[in-house]
Structure 1
Amino acid sequence: ADLDDEVWPTFEDLTPFEVEHFVQDLQEFKLESVGDPRWLTQHERVEKLNWTAHNQAKEGLDEFVVDQFNTQEKVPALIYDLMLIEVWKERIWPLIKAKIAKFSSLRTYIPVYHEASVANLLEVCLYHRTSCEEAGDALVDLVDYCVRKLRYLVCTPNDELVRQVASAKECTEWDNVRMLDEQFVECEFQICMCVISIIRFLTDHRVAVPLAVTTRLLETHDILLLLVPLMEKAPWVRRNRINGRIEKFEEHKWQVVEADDEGRLPKLQSQVWLSIYNLVMDAECRARYELTSFRRENLLRLRRYINEVVVDQLPPLTNLHRALEELSISGQFTGAGDVAPTPFVVELVAEAREAIVRTYEGRWQEVADQQLQTVFVKETPDELKRLTNMISIPKELFDDGPEPPELSGTSDAVAAAQSSSVASAESAAWEAVTKLALVRSTASFFAAAKSEDAPLDEVLVLSAPAQPTPGPGGRLKLEITRSRKGQLGRTGDKSRSGAAADANLLARRAESGGEDFLLAVAADGVPADKVQSVPFVSQKGASRTAEQLRSLLSKPGREDLLEMYSDDIAEFSIPVGLSAGEEEALEPRFVSWLGLHV
């Protein structure tokens, strides 16, 4: 069975009564509770609230989700949740990731991307001035959080912020920990993109927030020294390593920039411009921002980026450009009054984060050990089904165009290959290879040998090592390696959409009862994420279960065979030519289509 056609999980918009109940029940958890059943319930509710809030904003509907957060004064609870999961990712995640990497990718991914869900929900709320007012002093924590993310954006090279994978084979060589690290990096980038919008909204509503927030932005952190280099660095634009096209990050995904849109400002760049505009053009901010020579030179670097094309799209930048020109001449902001000095210095601390860190200082390993014993344990099928319903991504976020046509049988494969491209021919040839009884039985024993300990999303990857093209009577060398579903097809940087796909896969695998395994092909002409479900078969092609095959391998005298199949890579060969006797052979015409490398 082919698993290309995914049924994506979707949420229904919540009713006003559900929203009121979910918001009212938001709790402030302890660090050791991250990932436990009660925490997962709240995560699921945050996901549904986020989904509904975004739909309401997008469709112009009554935004009763935001209203409930304001009415019940729960915006600070969201900010606390953000601080909690950030501390957990910084201090606990590195201590446990190596031990939980073998679990399902969905189980390990949910705590990591929970931060993105909360940040995304805060982004919707803080668009409204009332939410900024209601958040109050908790915004000090949020400003510090945003600054930490912006520093990460500025200090990390762009090619490390989102690592582009050049080939599917590169992904299959990752171990489980490397796969988690890649997911972590992708998720961190998405969070940073949300933070840019949050900063813009905080500067939009600066007059409505506590004075400590302005002090934090301009004096404590000097955020203009981050925003200007961020504008120059432009991490939201990249060149695709595979096709060389320019792409920009919008709507939570990388989109190709068409020739007609090359002059259009990316939305995130506009957010940075507006944040700078709000701070520089605000009279009180001007008065509070002491212009040293270094700060002045930092701001004047912006002039080179303000041109007619930019101003046409953001007309307020005309005033900013004029202010910068005046600054270059006079050395000071025009009309900036002096702030009367005061003998009192009062500064709010980032209460939420400091309280968490102070409570658990020196106990990080203790919390990690406790979570490994009670929270991050192997999932039951029912738990996996529940996790499946906790991720819901709009399908348009990761539609990459139509899938290649499916080639279902050898005769169909031949016909398709003769009338299609080289890639289709290679796909057809590999289809013929995977249908051979020798290939399926070898893969079956390989999968069964470690099926008791294997994660549900384990995928066997079939490939051909570099070799001369074998002729009739020769043998084609093949390799099978163990991989994970999350490691396949990652060239599109689709971390959350990949998790949604894995959610469906894990639900099916939990119900299969060990009657099949997953098989993919690592070859240039085959889609990297094309995975098929293959039933376990014996050496003669008879249907078996994983337990039955494992019992055969465990019989006395077969220790070497069991050890061979228990390795992480298996090497074998299949005959090329006409089938003779019991050994089925690959037809020679397929060999030339396999894209073998010498």
Structure 2
Amino acid sequence: MEEPLAVLLPGEAEVLVRELKSFPLRDIGDHGWFRQHEYIEKLNMQALLSASAGHEQLLIELLVNYNKIPTLVEELITVEIWKQKIFPILCRLKDFMPKSTFPIYLVLHHEASIINLLETVFFHKELKKQAETMEFDISLKALSVLRFITDQIESLPVSAVTRMLNTHNFPCLLVQLVEHCPWSCYEEGKLKKFENGAWYVVPPEDHIKMTKLDGQMWIALYNLLLSAECQRKYNFDNFNKSQLLKLRAFLTDIVIDQFPNLLEMQRFLSHLAVTDPVPPKKDLILEQVPVIWDHVVKENSGKWQAIAKHQVNNMFSPSEEELRSQACRWAQTYNLDVIEALIPDKPKCAVCGSEAAKRCSRCRNEWYCRRQCQVQHWQKHKKACNLMADALKDIEDDIKMQAKPTE
């Protein structure tokens, strides 16, 4: 029997989890920080592979036993502060002209890697254009994480439930998502939806189907509105009530057929429309403040410009030799076979669109279902294939030159 594909052996995963630590804002982008980013990428890929095979328990236990989930959350917050305070300054510095923007891209990507790792763990436990695109993907993953948090609503601390319901008013926020549905749009008369990290055209027969994101949103609303704890604490004032009643227009028979539990929500909203709910019970709450965020901001307040200049001079202006070394490490991290195993959809033939099993051996970029299709496509593919093959050869030559011992 063929062994399941793996990025890390159990012992390697344990070492990487054990080595995870929090970095000061000033050190984002240095060698130690990039090394940890590689660790998180490998753990992220291993989590996805293990989850798809139903063997995710080991990684969850490692993160819990070594108390590393708070570390990941702290890293997430620190990078968010970096994006708000440091990244805009870097973009404005006139003397910042790096040979490559890849190191900065990795910092932006770091947030996506951590939130994806947390999403995978939660699920199985039960520059600017790039930044904007990544922000959208991160936001959708945050919705998924929120849904898994609401699954545990009855066991959350009182302060956490209060922040979700009344400080941040998540029920009304989710109503806005139902109304505007940012992962769905029409383009040139065709319905397109965002799922699995990409936009795709929805066939006419599937227009009424709920996507995974639709499901996550409705489950979060169901958990928040139908929970006895939430009904006791949520402030059903006139504004919140009017917002929640907008949901009735979206609870059609087609939606309820796909998610029968929403029938209970429909009844709750009908009852809400004709009654005035009891005011929320006023409990004495010692509310937790965002300790990590406040600590990082307080520690670095007034130093944003200095930190940006320090990182420009020491982290984000790598030499050609440093870039080559970085490229070698990332080539090892992003193993091609592993990446393909993580892709949810099978590759399609470039000619006929059938499921493909063969790939161009020169550029390894185009896929084909049979030899005839590859031959038929060669005249169109030839130019791109030559360019890709030449680029791969140049990279290999650079790696060999770097590996060659100096005299």
TM-score, L = length of structure 2: 0.81
Deviation, 1:345, is 4.1
| 1:286 partner SS | helix
Hey, what's the Cα distance between the residues in 2 that align with 1:90 and 1:399?
A: 38
Out of 265, 273, 276, which is 2:221 matched to? 276
Hey, what's the Cα distance between the residues in 1 that align with 2:75 and 2:347?
A: 33
Distance 1:45 1:181, change over 3 A: same
2:366 match: none
1:211 match: 158
Out of 172, 175, 196, which is 1:251 matched to? 196
Out of 32, 38, 47, which is 1:38 matched to? 32
| 1:127 partner SS | helix
- The 8 Å contact of residues 154 and 229 in structure 2, kept in 1 or not, is answered as no
Out of 308, 312, 323, which is 1:368 matched to? 308
Is 1:329 the counterpart of 2:274? The answer is yes
- 1:41-440 aligned at under 5 Å gives the runs 41-97=35-91, 102-127=98-123, 180-240=127-187, 244-332=189-277, 339=281, 341-342=282-283, 344-379=284-319, 380=321, 381-391=324-334, 394-395=339-340, 396=343, 401-403=348-350
| 1:214 partner SS | helix
Larger-gyration structure (1/2): 1
Distance 1:91 1:388, change over 3 A: farther
TM-score, L = length of structure 1: 0.56
Hey, what's the Cα distance between the residues in 2 that align with 1:38 and 1:238?
A: 42
Hey, what's the Cα distance between the residues in 2 that align with 1:337 and 1:189?
A: 36
Aligned residue identity for 1:87:
I
Hey, what's the Cα distance between the residues in 1 that align with 2:190 and 2:102?
A: 31
Distance 1:290 1:62, change over 3 A: closer
Hey, what's the Cα distance between the residues in 2 that align with 1:293 and 1:302?
A: 15
CA RMSD of aligned residues (A): 3.2
Deviates more, 1:504-513 or 1:256-265: 504-513
* 1:121-169 superposed Cα distances (whole Å, 9 cap, x missing partner): 1112223669xxxxxxxxxxxxxxxxxxxxxxxxxxxxxxxxxxxxxxx
Is 1:13 the counterpart of 2:7? The answer is yes
* 1:467-518 superposed Cα distances (whole Å, 9 cap, x missing partner): xxxxxxxxxxxxxxxxxx9xxxxxxxxxxxxxxx9x97984474498xxxxx
Distance 1:505 1:116, change over 3 A: farther
* 1:48-100 superposed Cα distances (whole Å, 9 cap, x missing partner): 11111112222212421111111222111110010011111111112224666
Aligned length: 365
- The 8 Å contact of residues 98 and 317 in structure 2, kept in 1 or not, is answered as no
Q: Which runs of 5+ in 1 are unaligned?
A: 1-10, 131-179, 409-419, 436-458, 460-484, 486-500, 514-598
Aligned residue identity for 1:201:
F
- The 8 Å contact of residues 60 and 125 in structure 2, kept in 1 or not, is answered as no
Aligned residue identity for 1:366:
A
* 1:443-462 superposed Cα distances (whole Å, 9 cap, x missing partner): xxxxxxxxxxxxxxxx9xxx
Structure having the larger proportion of residues in helix: 2
Hey, what's the Cα distance between the residues in 1 that align with 2:172 and 2:397?
A: 50
1:519 match: none
Hey, what's the Cα distance between the residues in 1 that align with 2:26 and 2:242?
A: 47
Aligned residue identity for 1:384:
A
Deviation, 1:347, is 1.0
Aligned residue identity for 2:218:
W
Deviation, 1:387, is 3.4
Deviation, 1:373, is 1.3
| 2:86 partner SS | helix
Hey, what's the Cα distance between the residues in 1 that align with 2:199 and 2:102?
A: 22
2:405 match: none
Aligned residue identity for 2:108:
V
Deviates more, 1:385-394 or 1:183-192: 385-394
Aligned residue identity for 1:252:
G
Deviation, 1:331, is 3.1
Q: Which runs of 5+ in 2 are unaligned?
A: 353-359, 363-375, 402-407
- The 8 Å contact of residues 280 and 286 in structure 1, kept in 2 or not, is answered as yes
Distance 1:507 1:389, change over 3 A: farther
Distance 1:60 1:128, change over 3 A: closer
- The 8 Å contact of residues 184 and 191 in structure 2, kept in 1 or not, is answered as yes
